[in-house]
Chains A and B, each alone.
Chain A
Amino acid sequence: MPVLCSSCGNKRAVLKRPKTGHSLCKECFFWAFEEEVHQTIVSAKLFNHGERVGIAASGGKDSTVLAHLMKLLNERYNYGLELMLLSVDEGITGYRDDSLETVKRNEQQYELPLKIVSYEELYGWTMDAIVKQVGLKNNCTFCGVFRRQALDRGAIILKVDKICTGHNADDVAETVLMNVLRGDIARLRRCTAISTSSEGDGVVPRCKPLKYAYEKEIVLYAYFKKLDYFSTECIYSPNAYRGYARTFLKDLESVRPSSIMDVIHSGENLSVREGVKMPQQGTCNRCGYISSQALCKSCVLLEGLNRGLPRLGIGKHHRLHDKILSQQPLTEKEERKLKAVDF
């Protein structure tokens, strides 16, 4: 006997919601999923009428579903937003070429303007070239730092008021766990925020409309909606630390499906002891981007790449920042330390 949809009670259920365990028909699932994201947007007051909003588009499932939903909800609920797609071309042969094709198709399908900013034009280095110099082990340091800034720079070129990213509930929960494992209390406190207000010049406010959407439901939604997305993982694999947190979260979810939300609830309700030192946010002396050090991470990494000292941005070398800024030569010992790279 077919299972009936628990919401409308007359159609046949086609899926079991990973988030609640309810059996739903396709239409009721679409409706519930869309409505939830709408509720998130409204209750967290993510946007204001008339704003220009850049959707960070990578061609992957999260950002494709995000672009689809933003377009749909903007029309359904009359948000009055001017939407556009914003993509970063890291310069990864095979991976990014294909995913950018997907983004370009999305541009057509959703009739949203698209802007692509490339690492090559911003930094003079493609990811492929970076990997050649720093090896596979450390490339994600670059990937993450450069990506963050690239989105901001693209957003400034597009003159958007806000960027929304495809981070989903799994990503947020994973980050909470990861920051606990790293003992990073400052990030632990920040990482559950659904939106960041402008932290300084050159940083565009960001938000995560899919913060409470389960990754599995995003896949289900994309599958039943037959959305066009690119599903290959980044060939420069993510770092080990996130890997541990991810595996652990997946295991938690298999024991108790609400775990993802439970971890986020924990993160949202942590209180940090007063007097615990939080890093001071300043700006980079070279490019003006926010930074807790004299030089922002991205400038340090670039300096390292350009001088053939790739380890500069990988270890903790804050002491050397002043030297770099004032263009003093490094000692032989310092040079040796910064050159060695294990592949």
Chain B
Amino acid sequence: MCQVDEDYHDQFEHADPPSVSKKCVKCKEATAAVVIRARDVYCRGCFKEYFIHKFRAMLGKNRIIFPGEKVLLAVSGGPSSCSMLSQVQEGLSQNAHKKLRFLPGIIYIDEGGAVGQSVKDRLRMVAELQAVFKATGFPFHIVPLEQVLDLPSSVVMKAPSPSEQPASAYKAAVDNFIQNDSSSCLTPQEQEETSLPDVQESHTQLLQQLIGSAKTLTAKEDLLNTLRQHLLVHTARTEGYSKLMLGDNCTRVAVKLLTSISLGRGAQLAQDTGFSDFRYDDVIFVRPMRDYSAKEIAYYNHMFKVPSVFIPNLDTKKTDKASIQHLTETFVTKLQTDFPSTVSTIYRTSEKLQTACKSSSTADHSDRCLLCMCALDTAVEDASAFKATLISEQLSGATTTEIPRQNPTPVNTESTAPTGQCCSSETGEDCGRAASGGGSCSSAKAPETTDLKSLLCYSCQLTIKDMSSVDQLPQYILSEAHRRLMRSQMREVISGFLLDDGDEAD
């Protein structure tokens, strides 16, 4: 049967070969040096102006960063985040009315421990980045990912609600700032000699065990991403930053959007790809580079000598089908070479998605995913992919499990199963392994995979499912999981006596 039920023609416009030795479309005088799109050719000077303007325009349009606010720039060493860093420098050096008015700091998370880099390589890379950071004069924080193991549970708990900042507050803050402006507030703090903080070898091993407990590269990458976010948020909080800038460019946003869809994160798309991400209440993530294509950034960095550092990651040198993240990236990149409108079309989709409702401070925090902190998307209607999957698993599993007949919340049924009984159909495999390894199935301390699932969004459940055990998860996650499970058990016990659904703040 022909599957085509609608018309899909004229989608892709093929690439026009770039025209040679044209004049700049902006000043119409100088010879063009950069081809951005087929007909958009710029000379060097106009390209720089265009690039810088775009950054300021993006921040101006969204009005989310207040004058005088402390903003942490997450720099990975890659071209995009390094370009972001240079744009902030550029913006701070502009004359009065064009000047950026926030107080930047830099964070670099050294993930060398997770990807199996040697200590020597890690030190060399850190030294390289340190040189780049020092040259900016901004305060900077170099944090090894191992520190995620010592985070407090507050990272995955509800943060105290930030004071309300109505739209009018922005203008007031600007006026106030202009009156009191003195360049002194931009003087960088005294920079002490920072080197890679001591990382205990045992910590690196624990981190590697944690990443290693994920059986697939897809889950490894997802886990790493979650841990990185937690560490970023924690550092921002402890150092007093209320905004965190990520270097995701347009190409990255397009890849991320398609990746998120493929990983079942449709409900979280807007947070994952939008300009601002409010999931951490008091630390707001922003993506000021999301309008730039990877190509533009490469041109700019090359022309204006913006330094960047190659940092290997988990999927470096892996095959195309090694992970969903990697597969998606390859797919988008290939399609983009054939059809140059691919990235911008996907990017436009992200513009039309609902931006995360500014964290409703009334919502009970246990409604959020323990790992990614997004609203849970598992309380769906019976006719849904999520319920259909549960039914499939129950129907092909052991006959002892009954089919839930119109049970509105199979997830909860699972989570409230007696903790001693761990050999449910889904984790049968794990139990077998634990038994053969001499481990017992007792679950007095750590929550079981099945228990944990009830605290996770659809996509994070997939990640946990790909893990051989959840025991390796850092303590801050496990103890918060324990606390939430206790709360929900208590709620169940007293549910008959509560007058409405209202849950007292934890």
Contact = CB atoms under 8 A, between A and B. Distances in A.
Interface stretch (A73-81, A181-189, A323-331): A181-189
B325 to A, nearest CB: 10
- Counting chain B residues whose Cβ lies within 8 A of the other chain, the interface size class is 35 or more
A6 B385 contact: no
A223 interface: no
B265 interface: yes
A260 B369 CA distance: 22
Contacts of A148: 5-6
Interface string A169-188: 00100001110111101011
Given A35-B395, A144-B7, A181-B335, 5 more contacts: A6-B397, A20-B393, A148-B5, A262-B385, A264-B385
Interface in B380-404: 380-389, 391-393, 395-399, 403
B499 interface: no
B413 interface: no
Interface stretch (B64-72, B79-87, B253-261): B253-261
Contacts of B11: 181-182, 241
Interface in A33-55: 35-36, 39-40, 42-45
A285 interface: no
A252 B218 CA distance: 11
Pick from A58, A248, A269, A270 the residue with the most CB of B within 10 Å: A269
A116 B94 CA distance: 73
Interface string B179-206: 0000000000000000000000000000
Contacts of B335: 181, 244
A262 B262 contact: yes
A270 B396 contact: no
A185 B8 contact: no
A205 to B, nearest CB: 15
B354 A239 contact: no
A188 B385 contact: no
Interface in A159-205: 166, 171, 176-178, 180-183, 185, 187-188, 194
List the 6 closest pairs (A to B, CB-CB), nearest first.
Answer: A266-B266, A44-B383, A262-B264, A234-B2, A43-B382, A58-B1
A182 B115 CA distance: 36
B1 A180 contact: no
B1 A43 contact: no
14 contacts: A7-B395, A8-B399, A9-B399, A24-B396, A145-B7, A147-B2, A234-B3, A239-B8, A240-B12, A255-B218, A263-B261, A263-B262, A266-B265, A273-B351
A265 B1 contact: no
A297 interface: yes
Contact of A271 (B257, B267, B381): B267
Interface string A18-29: 011010100011
A32 B425 CA distance: 15
A144 B4 contact: yes
Interface stretch (A117-125, A135-143, A302-310, A332-340): A135-143
A220 to B, nearest CB: 13
B9 A147 contact: no
Contacts of B349: 180, 183, 185, 188
A238 B4 contact: yes
Given A251-B321, A297-B7, A180 B257 contact: yes
Interface in B333-373: 335, 342, 345-346, 348-349, 351-355
B323 interface: yes
Given A180-B258, A268-B380, A256 B218 contact: yes
B216 interface: yes
A63 interface: yes
Contacts of A141: 7, 9
Contacts of B9: 138, 141, 239, 314-315
Interface in A261-286: 261-274, 276
A293 to B, nearest CB: 12
A270 B462 contact: no
Interface string B298-325: 0000000000000000000000111110
A6 B424 CA distance: 13
Contacts of B380: 268-269
Interface of B: 1-12, 216, 218, 257-258, 260-267, 269-270, 320-324, 327-328, 331, 335, 342, 345-346, 348-349, 351-355, 377, 380-389, 391-393, 395-399, 403, 406, 458-459, 462
A128 B477 CA distance: 63
A289 interface: no
A251 B396 contact: no
Contacts of A62: 1
A71 interface: no
A60 interface: yes
B266 A267 contact: yes
Contact of A6 (B10, B381, B398): B398
Given A242-B4, A258-B462, A266-B266, A251 B395 contact: no
Contacts of A143: 2, 4
A12 interface: no
A181 B346 contact: yes
Contacts of A194: 383
Contacts of A315: 9-10
Given A43-B387, A138-B9, A251-B331, A272 B352 contact: yes
A17 interface: yes
Contacts of B381: 43
A178 B403 contact: no
Contacts of A171: 3
A248 B331 contact: yes
Contacts of B345: 181-183
Contact of A259 (B265, B324, B384, B391): B324
